[in-house]
Structure 1
Amino acid sequence: MTDRITRPIGPVLILDDIRDGRMHLSALFVMPGDDAPAPIGTPDGPVAPILLDRTGQGAVWRARFDLPADRGSVYDWDGQRFDVAGDLTGDLRLAFVSCNGEEVGDLDREGSERNAMWSRLRDDHRREPFALMLHGGDQIYADEVTRGHPLSDGWPDDLPDAPSDAALADLARHLREGFWARYLAIYAAPELAWLAARVPSLMQWDDHDICDGWGSLRRSRTESAVGRTLFAEARAACLLFQHAAVDGDLPPRFADPAGGHLGWRLRLPGLRILAPDLRSERQRRRIMGPGGWAMMRDEAARPAAGHSLLISSVPLLGPRMSLFEAAMIAIPRMQKYEDDLRDQWQSRAHRDEWRRMLVVMRDIAQADGHAVTAVSGEIHLATRATMDLEGGRLLHQLVASGIAHRAPPAAWARTLGALSILGEDPLPGHPIRIRPLPGQRSRYVAERNYLTLTRRDGSWQGRWHLERSGVTEPLSLD
């Protein structure tokens, strides 16, 4: 876990904000030893990075700078030139990815196999550049970070009653090294590294960025001293590596500058992106807390032109999961999967809250001339769904998952497809239907994948890029 890096990692571009016709960016670097990264060269002059944090593995540095948001531009670093497709005003192309890893042994996987879809995404950008890269959760799989320490080896089932402050401090060190190791590994992968230096990223975390099922586990686990230490180290690593930030220094797109939750919103010309945090305030019987709901209420009350894109790390529209939950409670050997189902909006534990979110998104979608699309990951399959709105319009849900996580058995996809035939109707008059991808016969596709979203002449389309089946036909989202 404590292996030191031997060469620089980065730059990794993070989009902090858009204002005054400019993209405000952070460039993240991880440097070996006491080395400092060279300044970023911009059209307005050099920008020197500042030190954010350091462990025995390396040091994280950040340079904040801005580029035009109405045309392509360049920056340079350490003798390299990086082109950025920064025109956000007209035709636009976005990439959406999720589930960049696996629960067991992810650091030991062979690189070309693990990152095969990242390689395709890189080649895709070379053919037709992306303006932004959206990461919809599980950027890392941190499930194994608790191993190897006496306080957390038994997580989440066997925890110490009253660990000492010294033991908890040692646990925090151990966990921090584990989180760093995973972020450093993914950012050092050449396929992602090439893209990340040229396409600004926007990220939203999910459970595996903390641990499997965070927030759906029992509160005796998450509120224990070990659980609180685990969350604190996961959150610090998320801020550092996913947002190039630390507490007290969050970018303006965050709804809560104090970081009580990590939800954010961003406005581009003709496009609003909403990314509520579905983990920081989560409990077994709620998905979002007061901070997250305040953000959604505020955004629903603000007029927005064009299209709203909701990043919901778990799918907003899905099949009737309550049937699975009832079966799992009745079968003792299946009860270990209860937390996986409780993670979903469709869980019977979250039914009222799910309706509340659907009402918010329906009201946004019914604003004059507005359209809403939800994009999600989490389930390691590709699928889509719709919810009927007034006037024959649809709220679209697109699921692309995962870019590195290998697909589950095809039998699981068929099981979900059979369940989805029953339909779902949480809001009277607004039925939800799970639908096949364009050109596919089944409702769920068990292949690794990523999604591209394209705006041409003001109209939006989505395409799935499937590992074996190739690229789907475009799906109109207007």
Structure 2
Amino acid sequence: MTTNGDYPPQAQVNGVGDGPQIVSTTPGTEVICGPLLNYRRMSNEHSPNPQWHGSVLIVTTPGQQPAPLRLRFAGLTGINGGQSNSEVGDRTFNAIKLCEDPRKAFFNYEIDLPFQEQEAMWTYHIADMKPAGGLHKQNPDKPCRFYVPSKHESFRIMFHSCNGFSVGTDMETWKGPSLWNDVLRMQAEQPFHVMIGGGDQIYNDSVRTDGPLKPWTAISNPRKRREFPFDEDMRSRCDQYYFDNYVDWYGTEPFAAANAQIPQLNIWDDHDIIDGFGSYTDHFMQCAVFRGIGGVAHKYYMLFQHHIPPPASTFTTAVSKKHHFSTKASPGTPMSKEGQPLDPMQLERTFVMKPSYEDPSYIIGPRPGPYVEERSRSMYCQLGKRIAFAGIDARTERTRHQINYPETYELFFSTLASNIEASKGEIKHLILLLGVPIAYPRLQWLENILQSPLVGPIRFLNKRFGVAGGLFNQFDGGVDLLDDLDDHYTAHQHKKERKDLIHRIQNLAKEYSVRVTILGGDVHLSAFGRFYSKPELNIPAEKDYRYIANIVSSAITNKPPPQAVANLLARRNKIHHFDHETDETLLELFDKQPGAGEPGVKPKSAANNKATMPSRNYAIIAESHPHRGSTGQADGALANGANGINGSAEAQADNTDFVLPKNPREPIHKGEQHAGASHPAASGLTRTGLAGLDGLDVTIRVEKNPEDREGRTEGYGLSVPALDCRGYKEQGRGW
């Protein structure tokens, strides 16, 4: 059987441009990068026969016609073995050309498969692939293996962010993406069903130090930098830089191996474009160079990270979108989906597919962003039986004073509400990706210092004599740290937007009795924040819709901040009063140093800092308890003793006899008790049962020694209970 997933036939052939007119005569398919495996969504998710949907991307030399992808059911992996729920034979999927120019071509395979009664292993293979002229670092012509959970289970999730290096990193100390070796070890022991990229999947910052923006960055006059044109030559050189950087990074092992066998879900952040994009002053962000690189970075973000065709042309000074809106196109002029004329220079010898279909997993923003002149692309999908995922695109619409448009939030939360309601109570958890942490220590005092008149004389000396050169950025001359602080939800200018967002999340949790857990990265250290009802309300966590955990996992590859910064953040870890009913703080999770006592391992933070961990890390999230299907067989196993005396997982989630501590930085429910390296969830391999039938286990795997190329880690664990607030009465009031 041959199929092309959900794409209608016309979507595979419609496009703009006639392509490079190259036909390869070399046997086989020359692959530059890939294969890269993505997860998209489920269909029929509330029926007895749900379907898994994903995609596979390869990048080839031009003129290729890749062979069909062969998808093969490779057996069940459940602990009791057994048969599949249906006859599952091999299937083939044809390549869909997304775009092609004289240097490369992007092909996508839209694949789908049925969920089984137990976790299943699948393999895919594209025949006759070979490395293209030394560009591809491994032999791509081999079957790749991935795993799909039972139809009765939810996905086992790996979460990461900041997967690259900032400019100036000492590469002798931070030896490449070594933590991906640990990810692959965990994958071999207990497979991940999806890996969520929380932003900065690639660092493109060197475009200004070693790439085509270097001469522009060297211009000392900020006004001249703002007025510098982004012409076709600059666009073409930036296009080549971003493509080459993606090929190099996505072909680097062991990251490349993970890309091929763990399905990805990605949302971008600033380093996927350039450091601080969106958070500099508005008059500077409006300059042609920022708008230009925003468009080029968006193009390759769409291709490499989402496997969808990009816009056919991007911003240049000569043919800007503002000019498009005021120009009447001549008959026959190619048009974008926004009804704008396309740049004919960018279409020369180039083909770009025009899809007639948007995958329903995307929540497309109502209007283009202010600097990236494309619409935001947030996501919603279901991760198995009981977990939903939603990711907010918090970069496309970002300015120094806003993160997302109000109408984008309206569309986003209405989409969440309609899908959760349609599940009729089946969805128990919402994993919400924000990219940047939202339950995090306040740093407004530092913002005030950096924006105070005291910095003025230092800025003058910097401009005239280069004094304190490391303090100021090379773009608008502002204090370099301010763009990072301005990115934070806790920044003073985002205070109202942050409060409105948390209230929306709380209301969603309350209305549908769904536990919300937030993922955040960006800050290059690990922490575990949470919002919760004030102790005097005496609401157990299992009934508390205000209890929202924020898993902070960053970075999987980039270097951590200095110990002094992490220790300072820990000292700023106060009990914050979010509103009249809600408090927030970080849990003191890190009860020991990673690898303490092992040869060559140094302490990462002060002995009294148990809240922030400045060491590379990633997170694992999985259901705390196995669920039995119609066969009576359970996937996974419980930790010894996790079910208590009577074997009841639900009993372990009962918080009624738990005594709240005087210090809420300590555990505030049973799942947080003994949180840290001794918690049953710390290994990331065993279901604890501690969070009840529908709870989650959370593991943060922290690097022990940056000089260890194998990336060995220490685990820190805790559990998050499911929420059942239906009919529950607060003391002295009801809801």
Give the TM-score normalised by the residue count of structure 1: 0.91
Secondary structure at the counterpart of residue 505 of structure 2 = helix
The one of 567, 582, 585 aligned to 1:433? 585
In the alignment, is the contact (CA less than 8 A) between 2:147 and 2:191 conserved in 1?
A: yes
1:260, 1:291 within 8 Å by CA — same for their partners in 2? Answer: no
**Contact 2:363 2:412 (8 Å CA) reproduced:** no
In the alignment, is residue 132 of structure 1 matched against residue 158 of structure 2?
A: no
- Give the counterpart of 2:126 among 77, 91, 96: 77
Q: Distance in 1 between matches of 2:251 and 2:274?
A: 22
| Contact kept in structure 1, 2:227 and 2:287, CA below 8 Å | no
Asked whether the equivalents of residues 590 and 611 of structure 2 are also in contact (C-alpha less than 8 Å), the reply is: no
Label 1:338 to 1:198 Cα distance change in 2 as closer, same or farther (>3 A).
Answer: same
**Aligned residues of 1:365 and 1:395 also touching (Cα < 8 A):** no
1:256 is aligned to 2:364: yes
Task: Specify the alignment match of 2:702 in structure 1.
Answer: 466
**What is the RMSD of the two structures over their aligned residues, measured on CA atoms?**
2.6
Would the alpha carbon gap of residues 195 and 405 (structure 1) be closer, same or farther in structure 2, given more than 3 Å must change? same
The 1:172/1:234 distance shift into structure 2, 3 A limit, reads same
Cα distance between partner residues in 2 of 1:337 and 1:348:
15
- Bigger mean CA offset, 87-96 vs 218-227: 87-96
User: Does the 8 Å CA contact 2:553/2:618 hold for their aligned counterparts?
Assistant: yes
Q: How much has 1:300 moved relative to structure 2?
A: 5.1
After TM superposition, give the deviation of residue 215 of structure 1 in Å. Answer: 1.3
In structure 2, the CA distance between the partners of 1:29 and 1:385, relative to structure 1 (3 Å rule), is: same
In structure 2, list runs of 5 or more residues that go unmatched: 1-28, 45-49, 72-88, 128-140, 311-353, 367-373, 459-470, 472-478, 542-546, 593-608, 627-693, 706-712, 722-735
Which amino acid letter does the alignment assign opposite residue 465 of structure 1? R
Distance in structure 1 (CA, Å) of the matches to 2:481 and 2:296: 25
Select the residue among 185, 189, 212 that pairs with 1:123: 185
Partners of 2:272 and 2:390 lie apart in 1 by 20
Shift of 1:234: 1.1
Mapped partners of 1:33, 1:234: distance in 2: 21
TM-superposed CA distance for 1:56, in Å, is: 5.9
Please say if residues 62 and 101 of structure 2, whose CA atoms lie closer than 8 Å, have aligned partners that are also in contact. Answer: no
Structure 1 unaligned residues grouped into runs of 5+: none
Moved more, 232-241 or 71-80: 71-80
Partners of 1:171 and 1:280 in 2: CA distance: 22
Match for 1:379: what amino acid? Answer: V
- Offset at 1:261? 0.7
Counterpart residue type for residue 15 of structure 1: Y
How far apart in 2 are the matches of 1:345 and 1:257? 20
- Superposed counterparts of 1:179-190, under 5 Å: 179-190=242-253
Paired with 2:266 and 2:292, the residues of 1 have a C-alpha distance of 23
Q: Which residue of 2 aligns with 1:377?
A: 521
**How far apart in 1 are the matches of 2:302 and 2:215?**
25
What's the CA shift for 1:433?
0.6
Question: Aligned partners of 1:274, 1:371: CA distance in 2, in Å?
Answer: 13
Call closer, same or farther: CA 1:271–1:169 in 2, change over 3 Å. Answer: same
Which structure has more helix as a fraction of its residues? 1
Tell which deviates more after alignment, 50-59 or 195-204. 50-59
SS in 2 for 1:262: strand
Please name the residue that 1:231 is paired with.
Answer: 294
Separation (CA, whole Å) in 2 of partners of 1:364 and 1:89: 25
Cα 1:217–1:112, aligned 2, differ >3 Å: closer, same or farther? closer
Could you give the per-residue CA deviations for residues 143-182 of structure 1, whole angstroms, max 9, x where no partner exists? 1224434774358946446556xx5211211221121122
Are the equivalent residues in 2 in contact too, given 1:149–1:174 (CA < 8 A)? no
Give the distance between the partners of 1:11 and 1:112, measured in 2 at CA: 27
Among 701, 713, 718, the alignment partner of 1:475 is 718
Report whether the alignment pairs 1:64 with 2:110: yes
1:278 aligns with 2:394: yes
The question of whether the paired residues in 2 share the 8 Å contact of 1:122 and 1:192 is answered with: no
The aligned amino acid for 1:12 is L
In structure 2, relative to structure 1, the CA distance for the partners of 1:123 and 1:444 (3 Å cut) is same
Specify whether residues 344 and 126 from structure 1 end up closer, same or farther in structure 2 by C-alpha distance, changes over 3 A only: same
User: SS of the counterpart of 2:377?
Assistant: coil
Alignment of 1:27-66 (within 5 A): 27-42=56-71, 43=89, 45-54=91-100, 58-66=104-112
Which SS does the other structure have where 1:357 is aligned? helix
CA 54–112 in structure 1, closer or farther in 2 if over 3 Å, else same: farther
Cα deviation, 1:256-277, whole Å, max 9, x if unaligned, reads 1886111111123211111011
* Structure 2 SS opposite 1:402: coil
Contact 2:226 2:284 in 1 (8 A): no
How many residues align? The count is 470
Pick the aligned partner of 1:328 from 436, 450, 466.
Answer: 450
Deviation at 1:231? 0.9
Letter in 2 for 1:353: E
- Which structure carries more strand by proportion? 1
Q: Structure 1 residues 19, 450: closer, same or farther in 2, change over 3 A?
A: same
Is the CA contact (8 Å cut-off) linking 2:93 and 2:109 kept in structure 1? yes
Q: Where does residue 76 of structure 2 map in the other structure?
A: none
Aligned to 2:217: 153
Measure the CA separation in 1 of the matches of 2:168 and 2:67: 34
In the alignment, residue 409 of structure 1 is paired with which amino acid? P
Q: 1:355 to 1:76 in 2, by over 3 A?
A: same
Alignment partners' CA distance in 2, 1:151 and 1:253: 41
Which position in structure 1 is the counterpart of 2:564? 411
AA matched with 2:234: L
User: How much identity, in percent, do the aligned residues show?
Assistant: 23
Mapped to 1, the partners of 2:201 and 2:123 lie a distance apart of: 26
